[in-house]
C-alpha cells in the first residue's frame, strides 16, 4: 500500500506533534496538527474579549473565522483570517483556556468536519485527542502515545525560553488539561480499541519515530 493514514493520539507533551511531523517527512505524507485548530479558535475568542463559557458567542465567532493550515519549514503554519498565529497560539493563556473551548459540541463538530475533509485523500499523519476514535476511525495505523506526567512536563519545560512558571506548576497545568480532556462527554481523550499503545517514557524522539515507522511497516507494508 502506497498511501495510508496515521492517527496519533495522546496527552499533552507525549511527543505527538514532533513525531507526527517527522514521520510525515519520512513518508512524504502531509502532517495535520488538530490541536492547533482548537488553539486557533481559542486565540480568536480571547482576542474578541470572550470567555469560553460564553458558548453561544464563541460558536458564532468560530463559524465566522477562517482557519488555514499550511506546511511550513518548521512544521505546520496556522493562519486565522489571514494572520499568521503559529507562535501566538502556544501561549500560557491559550493553554489554560483551550480545553474548555474544546468541550463545546458545536466547536468540535465544526473542526472535526474540517479535519475529515483534510484527510479525504490518503497520506495524512494527524495528531490530536480523538483522531483514532472519531476523526479517522478507519486510519490504517493508530498509535496512542504517552509518557509519565513528569517527563511530559520536563519536555515542555525545556522548550520554554523565559519560563514564567516552575516545573511543578507546569506539571499541574498539564495534568489539569489532561483531566479535562479525558473526562469531557464528547470525544474524550482515549485510546482507540485498535490503537497501539506506545509509552515513550525514557525514549528519545528518534526512537519514537522509528517505532511508529516500524508499526507502519508491519501493518501496511509502508514506512520505508
Q: How far is the CB of 29 from ligand CDP (least distance, A)?
A: 16
The alpha carbon torsion through 188, 65, 93, 182 (nearest 10 deg) reads 0
Residue pair 126/25 in contact (Cβ under 8 Å)? The answer is no
203 touches ligand CDP by CB under 6 A: yes
- The span of 22-30, 59-67, 122-130, 215-223 binding ligand CDP (CB under 6 A) equals 122-130
Q: How far is the CB of 224 from ligand CDP (least distance, A)?
A: 22
Beta strands 196-199 and 30-33: pairing type?
unpaired
Pick between residue 103 and residue 221 the one whose CB is nearest to ligand CDP.
Answer: 103
Pick between residue 94 and residue 216 the one whose CB is nearest to ligand CDP.
Answer: 94
**Neighbour count for residue 26 (Cβ, 10 Å):** 16
5 touches ligand CDP by CB under 6 A: no
16 touches ligand CDP by CB under 6 A: yes
**Residue list 39-78, contact with ligand CDP (CB under 6 A):** 39
Provide the 3-class DSSP secondary structure of residue 99: helix
**Residue list 87-116, contact with ligand CDP (CB under 6 A):** 98-99, 102
18 touches ligand CDP by CB under 6 A: yes
128 touches ligand CDP by CB under 6 A: yes
Place of cell 484527510: 119
DSSP one-letter string for 135-176? I-TT-SEEEEEE--HHHHHHHHHHH-SS-SS-HHHHHHHHHH
Binding residues for ATP: 10-18
Amino acid at each position: 500500500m502506497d498511501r495510508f493514514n496515521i492517527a496519533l493520539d495522546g496527552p499533552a507533551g507525549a511527543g505527538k506533534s514532533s513525531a507526527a511531523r517527522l514521520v510525515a517527512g519520512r513518508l512524504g505524507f502531509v502532517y495535520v496538527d488538530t490541536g492547533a485548530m482548537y488553539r486557533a479558535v481559542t486565540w480568536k475568542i480571547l482576542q474578541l474579549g470572550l470567555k469560553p463559557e460564553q458558548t453561544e458567542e464563541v460558536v458564532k465567532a468560530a463559524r465566522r473565522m477562517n482557519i488555514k493550515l499550511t506546511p511550513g519549514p518548521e512544521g505546520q503554519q496556522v493562519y486565522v483570517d489571514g494572520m499568521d498565529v503559529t507562535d501566538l497560539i502556544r501561549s500560557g493563556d491559550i493553554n489554560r483556556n483551550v480545553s474548555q473551548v474544546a468541550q463545546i459540541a458545536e466547536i468540535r463538530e465544526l473542526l472535526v468536519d474540517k479535519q475529515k475533509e483534510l484527510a479525504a485523500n490518503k497520506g495524512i499523519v494527524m495528531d490530536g485527542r480523538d483522531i483514532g476514535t472519531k476523526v479517522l476511525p478507519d486510519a490504517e495505523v493508530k498509535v496512542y502515545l504517552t509518557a509519565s506526567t513528569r517527563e511530559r512536563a520536563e519536555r515542555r519545560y525545556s522548550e520554554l525560553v523565559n519560563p514564567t512558571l516552575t516545573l511543578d506548576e507546569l506539571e499541574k497545568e498539564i495534568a489539569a488539561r489532561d483531566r479535562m480532556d479525558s473526562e469531557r462527554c464528547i470525544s474524550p481523550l482515549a485510546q482507540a480499541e485498535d490503537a497501539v499503545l506506545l509509552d515513550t517514557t525514557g525514549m528519545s524522539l528518534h526512537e519514537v519515530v522509528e517505532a511508529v515507522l516500524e508499526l507502519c511497516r508491519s501493518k501496511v507494508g509502508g514506512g520505508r
